[in-house]
Structure 1
Amino acid sequence: MAEAAFFVAAFAALVDIAPPDRLGEALSLNSLGLYLGLAAGPPLGEVLTQRSFPTAWMTAAVLCLAATAASAFIGETGTPTTTNTKLIHRPAIAPSIALCTSLAAAGGFLAFAALRAQEEGLENTSLPLFLYGATVVVSRAAFAKIPDRLPPLRLGAIALAVIAAGLVLTATPHTLIAGSVVLGLGVTFSTPAFFAAVFATAEPHQRGAASGTASAFIDIGLGGGPILLGLVANASIPAALATGGALAAAGCLWTLKLHRAH
């Protein structure tokens, strides 16, 4: 519940303070913290669990407290409204479905990358995850302005196509490392593109509901993707990753349909 509340409030606040013509850039830069965590978290976790699992959990708790302290220094970005707003922002559902497919596919990679690395004989099984996270961090910093130069749904469709290609590479023998980087490039643009599309459907007083609607689909994707692909993983890990690629490809087709409708 705490994570859900923080996520919704943080994205709504970001849209409040970002200039409209730089929203994509703001969304890209804002997500760097998330992917810095994804890049640094697994290696840090491996080091800490060598001491003990309680040490790892206590360190995570301390990091959460540090984030709480940092948030206390941020002022309010808007004033509460008395306008009645529906809990679910319906216009945000369609682009959120596309966002869900990208995260379900990427979530499958996050779940099975270490196992796939073990199959490929890599000594450092967290290397694919590190390269994935590092690619997203570097690319979002380097290409932060691109989401403002392309229509969000078109960019989202391109991102999903790249995600699909990356997952196919991770499922192919001897191309796990290359696939991790390609996947990271796709994810670089997917989240900023689809959140820009979501917020384009919302008035200022609807931003909280739009953010909440999109974030629900994020959790469905990140939670449901590994479960769905886990069923396929009973056959083989490469089959699960390839299925994730097919899911991203389906999301690409859905996004192209939305783009043409607009």
Structure 2
Amino acid sequence: MAGAPPEGAPSGGRLLTGAFVALVLAELAYFVGIGALIPLVPLYAADRLDAGPLAVGLTVAAFSLTALVLRPAAGRVVDRWGPRRPFVAGALLLSAVLLAHTLAGSLAVLLALRVLTGAAEAVVFVAGMPALLDITPAARRGEALSYSSLSLFLGIAVGPAIGETLLGLGGYRTAWSGVAVLGLLAALVGAALPDTPAGASAAGPTALFPPPVRLPGLAFAVGVAGSAGFLGFVALRAREVGLEGAAWPLAVYGGVVVVGRLLLARLTDRYAAARLSALALGLTGAGLLLLGTGRGAVAFGAGTVVLALGAVLLTPAFFRVLTDRLPADRPGAVGATFGVLVDVGLGAGPVVLGLLAQGLGLPGAFTVLGCAAALGILLLTPGSAGTRLPR
């Protein structure tokens, strides 16, 4: 990337600005609200609407599927209007939809509201990426994403507890209304973002996966799939190695990711993005191999830590790789491509690991997924990157 510092040199430019703090706080409010929905939606569907397991699953999945499908369109909206207005509009849509949950008297209505929630997610997530690009120095993008991504982890960590607390205090109406306040807060804080100029909207839409990002994008999705597979099957694999539950491995994984993102944030800008991406894939693969072949709590814990270290570097490093290979005048396209790759990895990981486990068992499934992550390094060789798009 032009202007990047030499390897090992400190990155420059001021990062902690009012706009950056506003973005992080707005995303924190938004993701805490999304996290609060994790227990509320299935409980409401089952308790109030008498939905069976399949219907509950479809209702929960409608959110992610809608977000995945709409991310490219959200990218074009952001390129046309700039990130601030779509971010605020998406957060306001989330707040309005959550208030409408108080009137959801049937499964069909709840399903429709989940689709609208997914639309809000598509816009807010995609708008957040170009907003981050606009307000942070190019030489500190990896560090900026390391910090801002903690909003997602914190939202998942504390959001469900907030949702259940609100439910216990006043029932579902109080819970929906309380979470809607978080969406409104995200919109209010997001309105403080600078009104950056829109991208080049006159030209045709940018391809979601142009040639320069296809191979590194595939490598990134494979790395995300490894962590997603672990999160989906950690409880079952922990039981196989003699642990009573997955509480402490999950706590270790989450703790390492959060602390690592804080302590190693600047590392993601001091070295070549491709090298850090390769290191992240290597750690991810090694962690999965330890989880698949190890025996006992010590090996399981070691695999968890190594995998978490891979997750610390994976997203910031590949964010730099992909932004280097996508057109600078289409920041919405950057957000859309990045979001879709994350969605694909998160969705494919548990499915692929589950399919592998049917024939190989969980040890074999973790081992194969670990080898796939390690082999993803081959997709980052200089000859595989394709022609870099104009900057």
**TM-score band (shorter)?**
0.7 to 0.9
- Does residue 243 of structure 1 match 2:364? no
Matched, 1:69 2:185: yes
Aligned equivalents of 1:59, 1:196: Cα separation in 2: 38
Q: Which residue of 1 aligns with 2:18?
A: none
What's 2:69 paired with? none
TM-score, normalised to structure 2, is 0.59
AA paired with 1:86? Answer: T
Assess if the C-alpha contact under 8 Å between 2:228 and 2:349 holds in 1: yes
The count of corresponding residues between Structure 1 and Structure 2 is: 258
1:12 and 2:130 matched: yes
Instruction: Note if 1:191 corresponds to 2:315.
Output: yes
Partner of 2:75: none
Alignment deviations for residues 12-46 of structure 1 (CA, whole Å, 9 cap, x no partner): 1111111111111101111112223455578x59x
| Alignment of 1:150 onto 2:271 | yes
Alpha-carbon distance in 2 for matches of 1:30, 1:244 = 28
For the residue of structure 1 that corresponds to 2:329, the secondary structure is: helix
Does the aligned pair in 2 maintain the 1:95–1:255 contact within 8 Å? Answer: yes
Separation (CA, whole Å) in 2 of partners of 1:93 and 1:242: 25
Contact 2:356–2:364, Cα closer than 8 Å, also in 1: yes
Per-residue deviation, residues 219-251 of structure 1 (Å, max 9, x unmatched): 111111211111111231122211220121121
Q: Which structure has the greater CA radius of gyration?
A: 2
Match of 1:117 among 216, 232, 238: 238
The aligned residue for residue 83 of structure 1 is 202
- Larger deviation: 120-129 or 169-178? 120-129
Greater relative CO, 1 or 2 (CA 8 Å, sep 6+): 1
Q: Verify: 1:216 aligned to 2:335, yes or no.
A: no
- Matches of 2:367 and 2:220, distance apart in 1: 18
Q: What is the match of residue 255 of structure 1?
A: 380
Work out the CA distance in 2 between the residues paired with 1:191 and 1:229: 21
In 2, Cα distance between the equivalents of 1:18 and 1:4? 22
Aligned-partner Cα distance in 1 for 2:382–2:364: 27
| 2:262 is equivalent to residue 141 of structure 1 | yes
Unaligned runs of 5+ in 1: none
Letter in 2 for 1:237: L
Q: Is the 8 A contact 2:213 2:385 kept in 1?
A: no
Measured after TM superposition, the shift of residue 83 of structure 1 is 3.5
Cα separation, 1, equivalents of 2:159 and 2:239: 19
The Cα of 1:62 is off from its aligned counterpart by 4.6
Aligned to 1:178: 302
Q: Output one character per residue of 1:87-107: Cα deviation in whole Å (capped at 9) or x when no partner.
A: 525133332212101011111
**What does the per-residue CA deviation read over 1:36-58, in whole Å, with 9 as the maximum and x for residues that have no partner?**
3455578x59x959x99xx79x8
Deviation, 1:164, is 0.6
In structure 2, C-alpha distance between the alignment counterparts of 1:187 and 1:38, rounded to whole Å: 16
Alpha carbon RMSD of aligned pairs, Å? 3.0
Give the superposition deviation at 1:187: 0.8
Structure 1 segments, 4+ long, off by >6 Å, are 259-262
Q: Which of these residues, 172, 182, 201, is aligned with residue 325 of structure 2?
A: 201
Structure 2 Cα separation of the partners of residues 145 and 77 of structure 1: 27
**Alignment CA distance shift 1:182-1:195 (3 Å):** same
The answer to whether the 8 Å contact 1:159/1:190 transfers is: yes
User: Post-superposition shift, 1:121?
Assistant: 2.9
Give 5+ residue unaligned stretches, structure 2: 1-118
Residue 167 (str. 1) matches residue 288 (str. 2): yes
Asked whether the equivalents of residues 165 and 245 of structure 1 are also in contact (C-alpha less than 8 Å), the reply is yes
Map 1:21-100 onto structure 2 (within 5 A).
21-39=139-157, 44=161, 48=164, 62-63=178-179, 65-74=181-190, 75-81=193-199, 82-84=201-203, 85-88=205-208, 90=210, 91-100=212-221
- Which shifted more, 153-162 or 4-13? 4-13
